[in-house]
Every structure is written in C-alpha cells, then in structure tokens.
Structure 1
Amino acid sequence: MARNLSPPARIAIVGAAVVIVLAGVRTATPILGPFLVAVFFAMITAPVMTWLTRRGMPRILAAGAVVAGLAALLAGTVAFLAAALTGFILSLPQYEKALEAQVAMLAGYGIDPASISVWDYVDRGYVIQQIAGLAQQLGSVAFDAVIVFIAIAFLLIEAPRLAAVLARRLGPESSPFQHLSQSGRLLIDYVLVRTKVNLITGVGTGLFLALLGVDFAVLWGFIAFVLSYVPYVGLLTAAIPPTLLALIEYGPAGAVAVIAAIALIDAAAENLFLPRMAGRELDLSPFVVLFSIVFWGFVFGAVGVFLAIPLTIAVKLFLESWEETHWMGELMGSGERRG
C-alpha cells in the first residue's frame, strides 16, 4: 500500500514518524543518556579489551580492569577539578581588587572610575552559586556514573555474542553489517585522532597561559582539551575564562594576547597536525558538523553535544547502507572524498 502513495506523501509520513521518535527519545534522555555514553566508551575501549583477552585474561576480569581504569580516570579528573575550582573561588577577592585597579586606569582616558561600579556587572555570587549547584548534583552524577560503568562492563563482555548474532541475522557480507563494523572502526579512529589533536591544543594553551602568568593555566588547558571535542564552539567557549582573567590581571593587551595565541594554537592543531594524524576521511560537511552539534544537543543535552560527531557518523553510515537512502548519506558528506 505504501508504494501506491505519492513521493511527497511518503516523505511526509516518514518525516512525521521521525519527529515522533525524536520527541520520545528527547523525553527519555535521562534514561537513554547514560546508556548512550556507555555504548560510546564500550566501543572506544574495545581494543583494550581485545588486547587483554588475547593475553589470556578472562573476559570478566578484562572488563573489570577496563572499567576500573575508567573509574580511576574519572576520580582523578573530579579531584583535580575540585581542587582547581576551590582555589579559583578563594582567589575571587584578589581578582576584584585587580579589576578595580584596571577600572581606575580609565581615568587616563577621561572616564571617571567612580561612575563605574564593577561588581554591579560582575556577580561574584553567581559563580559561587553555580559551582554550589554542581556540587549538589554530584549525587545524581555519581549514580549515573555507576550505571554507565556497569553497562560498559556488560557490553564489553557481551560484545562477541552480539556481533555473532548480528552477523547471523544480517549476513556477514551484507551492507548493513559491513557499515556497522565500519562505523565502529571509524569511531575509534576519530576518537583517537581527536584526542591527540585536543592534547596538542590543551597542552599548548596551558603552556602559553603559564608563560604569560595567567592563574590556573593547567585548569584552562584541561578545559580547552575537553571542550575541543565539540567542533567550532568548544574551544571558543574554553577561551572565555582565561581571556577574562588575562584582562583582569594584565589589561586589554593580555586579553588580546590570549585570544591570538589560542587562535594560532587551534589553527596549527586543526590544519597541520589533524591532516597528518587522520588515517581516514570523516567526509562530513562543515554545515552538517555545526548542525549536528545543535541538533544532538537539543535531543540529548550535554551528552549529545559531546557525542555529536560520532552520532552523525553513525547516522551517515546507516543511511549509506541502503540504496534508497544512500543519497541522503552523500548529502551529508563534504564532497571531497577521494575515490
């Protein structure tokens, strides 16, 4: 009966179905989000799992070792951020005096410093309130982390059985199964390359800020490393705090120096190091990359923002698996794929 419908009618029906599914997914984000993160980390840690099992470690122990490593990494990150943010909060009175000194320098430009009340525009309490709000959410985050770690362990243990079932049902030579396998390999390649490039960006940013004398340079470098997983807007967001801090400590010249340095570091990482490290072309249109951040962020929140590119890669390969939707996958490409 569907074949008797006109193309516009079929497009309208499929579009309506997609909207309904996405609305349901967005509603279920508190449940789906942790499991989506678990699938992502299970895929990128699968090579470590394979390496351990090939050396004779039982799958259960290997999965436990991988999860323990992830948990230790998370605990170390949380401890570092807690210490750094505590130091930043304790330094707020010092920055208040420095900012007021910067305002006092405006007298040389014919501006009356007494007419400007700096902290009427910079709310000190807002920063503390936001950090306190994050601390109150630690219980919920800890519960989600436990769910994620358990799910990662089960996925790593069950991976061979799941792969065998998919191969038997879809056929090992079928296009869907081949694209599914390719998506896993491409995801791992993307994460490894992206992590190396982000490490260059984060270390470069931290070193420059340390040489300039900006406080908490290691913290800002770490934030630059993490947020660089979000294309285009991530590093821009990460540059705001150190730029403001350089403005307070060293004036406009310091802020301009930070902006210029971070821009140069990012340009070098993205245009010099990324092409050399990338072993496989992602073949995604820049518009699709930007749209995917907004779209998946709307659907899954913060999880969707950080997983926007892997999710889009998976969707693109899924569309390319069938002749009817192959053209949609091509539309998402950059048009620069080498044959």
Structure 2
Amino acid sequence: MLKVGNATLTLIAGCVLIALLYYGRAVIAPVVFALFIIMLVWPVQRALSSIMSRYLALVITFLLVVFLLLGFGWLIAWTVGQVGRRILIDAVRYQLLYEQLTTWLDGHGIAASVLWSENFSVSWTLRTLQSIGSRLNNTFSFWLVALVYVLLGLAETDEFRARFKQLKNQEAANSFLRASQSAAAKIRFYMLLRALMSLATGSLVWLLTRLIGLPFAETWGFVAFILNFIPFLGPLIATLFITAFAFTHFANWQWVLAVFVGLNIIQSVIGSVIEPRLTGKTISLSPFATLFSVFAWGSLWGVFGAFIGVPITIVALTFCAQYSTTSWFAEILGFSREQ
C-alpha cells in the first residue's frame, strides 16, 4: 500500500513539474538557456581570470557571448532572407505549379480552390503577421532576459562554489559539485561535436547542391548547418525542405531524386557512422532518449526546447548517474554510473 502511495505521489509530482515547465516557460526557459551558456563559456572566463583581473575577464567573456549570439542570429536571418528572396524571384514558377496542382486536384474531385478560400483569407494573413510579430517580440525579450542571467551567473560562479563548500553536509555538496563539473564537461564536448558535425554536414550539402546546379548552394549549406543542431528532426526538415525546392526548380524527377538520395547519404554517414564513433562512451545517450528529448522539450518550449532538449537530458542523467538510488535510470538510457 505504501509503494502504491509513493508511486501516486511521484506521478502527481511529475505532472505538476511538466505543467510548471510549460506554463512557466517564459521565466524558466531563459534561466535554463543562461545556465547552458555559462557551462560553455565558464572555462574561457577562468582562463582569462588567470592572466588579468576578474572583472575584465567577466566583461570580455560576456562580450564574446553577445557577439556569438548576434552572429548566429544574423546567420539565421540571412538564411531566411535568401530563401525568401528566391521564392519572390520564382513567384511566377510557383504560381504555375500551383495552377497545375489545382487543376490536377479538381480533376480528381478535390475542390482545391474552395479549400483555399475557406482556410486562407485576408484575416488569416493578418493573424499570421500578428503572430509572427508577437513571436519576434517574445524572442527579443527572451534573449535580453537570458543575457542578463548570463552576466549575473558568470559574476557569481566563484561565490557559488564557495557557498557550497561552506555547507554542513559536505558529502552532498561535493557530490553536487562533481555532478555539475561532469555535466558541464559533457555539454561542452557535446556542443563541440555537434558544431563540427554541423559544419561538415553544411559543407557537404553546399558541395552537393553546387555540383548538381541547385541555386543558392551557400544558403542550403547554411540551412543544413543550422538545422543539424537539432538531432534527428533538424536533418529531416533540412532534407525535405531542400528536396521540395529542388522539385520546384528542376524539370525532371531524376535530379530531384539525386538531391534527395545525396542528402540522405550525407546525413546517414555523418549522423549514424561518424558521430557515434567520435562520441564514444563520453555521451552514450541512447537513440530513444535523444529522440524523446527533442520531441518532449520541443512540445514544451517550441524550437528552443528542441534545440536544448538533449543538453538538458544529458545534465539530468549525469546527476542521476551520480547517486546510487537513481543511477539505474541513467544506465537504462545509456549513461554509466559516475564514480
């Protein structure tokens, strides 16, 4: 009876936690992202602190974070702009394809024009534009709040460690610090590996599209580079998106098939052969845990959740592996118990 009660309480606590993460995402997500950034750049700040004053090292590290985020944001905006410009250039082609598709659907008994008029109207367009504007405003607020947390967090890293060392329960404090250091090291390794694999994927996609003759090869390389930071889902979206564009550009299906097969070969070789060999046992996260992390956190926090879902899971499992009572859960999902 006691075990049933404990299981019920655990289930209720889990539901409350999920609801808190979803409805409190405007507050929690920037904090999580700030902690993620601090894990990545703290070694830089520590190295700079050894050769200059602490506050100067803090300023340089923070400016580095700002410049990197601005650069990444500019890259995303440039890529979207290039794709949009290409769509506007080929507007006549897309109109012709739309008319051909409408004629084909009408010939098979599907009133495409009626469905279009019912679901896409001026009011729908206005709502979409308002939604985009709201999302851009929320994104700006998110980055601003996250950067404030990053600045405050970097300023208190040493004090945070000192406070933990002053706790009465030193065994618990040391376990927490060990787990934190291990999680941070794994996150840095994961992001370095993900960046290298994304760079390799983007370069090969650029080479493939350039050899085949698909316009804006550089843009497709950047698309593959950016989306590859989201495991499984990102490469799939990139493959479908580039293939769809190739379908509208080339007149025959053989070239479209060549693009599709080439993209799948690139993604399979890098994602299924090279990356697992480089990862080794450092981050031996099971494919199920990786895919579940992307979809679960993506459903809670959108695109940002899909991006940061795997790092969150790595941190959580690292802490689980640190303690004997929860190490079994980490081992099931591919993590070895921390010594």
TM bucket normalised to smaller: 0.7 to 0.9
- Identity of matched residues, %: 21
Q: Does 1:267 align with 2:268?
A: yes
Structure 1 CA distance for aligned equivalents of residues 125 and 87 of structure 2: 8
Mapping 1:234-313, distance limit 5 Å: 234-250=234-250, 251-278=252-279, 280-313=281-314
**1:134 — aligned with what?**
132
Cα deviation per residue 1:163-187 (whole Å; 9 max; x = unaligned)? 2323443637833321221001111
State the alpha-carbon separation in 1 of the partners of residues 17 and 142 from structure 2. 24
Q: Which runs of 5+ in 1 are unaligned?
A: 105-110
Stretch deviating more after TM superposition (268-277 or 317-326): 268-277
State the shift of 1:127 in Å.
Answer: 10
Give the conservation status (yes or no) of the 8 Å contact 2:239–2:264.
Answer: no
Confirm whether residue 179 of structure 1 aligns to residue 179 of structure 2. Answer: yes
CA change 1:226–1:132 in 2 (3 A) is farther
**3-state DSSP of counterpart to 1:307:** helix
Q: How does 1:207-226 map to 2 (within 5 A)?
A: 207-226=207-226
Is this contact kept in 1: 2:317–2:330, CA < 8 A?
A: yes
Aligned to 1:95: 93
- In the alignment, the residues of structure 2 paired with residue 79 and residue 302 of structure 1 have an alpha-carbon distance, to the nearest angstrom, of 15
Q: Give the structure 1 partner of residue 34 of structure 2.
A: 38
Change over 3 Å in CA distance of 1:114–1:28 after alignment to 2: closer
Counterpart of 1:229 in structure 2 is 229
TM-superposed deviation, 1:294:
2.0
Do the aligned partners of residues 79 and 209 (structure 1) sit closer, same or farther apart at CA in structure 2, a change above 3 Å counting? same
Aligned equivalents of 1:128, 1:91: Cα separation in 2: 23
Q: Partners of 1:131 and 1:212 in 2: how far apart?
A: 35
Number of residue pairs aligned between Structure 1 and Structure 2: 326
Whole-Å Cα distance in 1 between the matches of residues 283 and 212 of structure 2?
Answer: 36
Separation in 1, partners of 2:18, 2:148: 26
User: Could you tell me how far apart the structure 2 residues matched to 1:118 and 1:219 are?
Assistant: 36
1:275 Cα shift? 4.2
When residues 115 and 45 of structure 1 are mapped into structure 2, their CA distance, relative to the original with a 3 A threshold, is same
Q: 1:7 aligns with which of 3, 10, 14?
A: 3
| Equivalent residue, structure 2, for 1:332 | 333
* TM-score using structure 2 length: 0.82
Aligned to 1:199: 199
- Going from structure 1 to structure 2, the CA distance change for 1:128 and 1:272 (only over 3 Å counts) comes to farther
User: What do you get for the CA RMSD once the two structures are aligned?
Assistant: 3.4
Tell me, in whole angstroms, the C-alpha distance in 2 between the residues paired with 1:39 and 1:150.
11
Partner of 1:51: 47
CA distance in 2, matches of 1:94, 1:210: 24
Letter of the aligned partner of 2:256 in structure 1? A
Structure 1 segment 14-163 matched on structure 2, within 5 A: 14-56=10-52, 58-81=56-79, 83-96=81-94, 99=97, 115=107, 133-135=131-133, 137-163=135-161
Q: Retained in 2: the 8 A contact 1:220–1:241?
A: no
| Residue identity in the other structure for 2:70 | A
* C-alpha separation in 2, matches of 1:200 and 1:231: 15
* Amino acid paired to 2:234: G
Shift of 1:188: 0.5
CA distance in structure 1 between the aligned counterparts of 2:179 and 2:29, rounded to whole angstroms: 24
- TM-score, normalised with respect to structure 1: 0.82
1:216-250 Cα distance to aligned partner (Å, 9 max, x none): 32222222222222222220111122101111222
* Residue identity matched to 1:296: W
Distance 1:127 1:94 in 2: 20
CA–CA distance in structure 2, aligned partners of residues 18 and 332 of structure 1: 19
1:129 to partner: Cα distance: 8.5
The answer (yes or no) to whether the contact 2:105–2:112 under 8 Å persists in 1 is: no
Q: Do the aligned residues in 2 keep the contact of 1:214 with 1:242 (CA within 8 Å)?
A: no
Q: 1:127 to 1:331 in 2, by over 3 A?
A: farther
SS of 1:320's equivalent in the other structure is helix
Tell which deviates more after alignment, 54-63 or 154-163: 54-63
d(CA) in 1 for partners of 2:2, 2:105: 70
Task: Look up the SS of the partner of 2:231 in the other structure.
Answer: coil
> CA separation in 2, counterparts of 1:191 and 1:240?
25
Structure 1 CA distance, aligned partners of 2:331 and 2:149? 34
Mark the CA change 1:53 to 1:240 in structure 2 (over 3 Å): closer, same or farther.
same
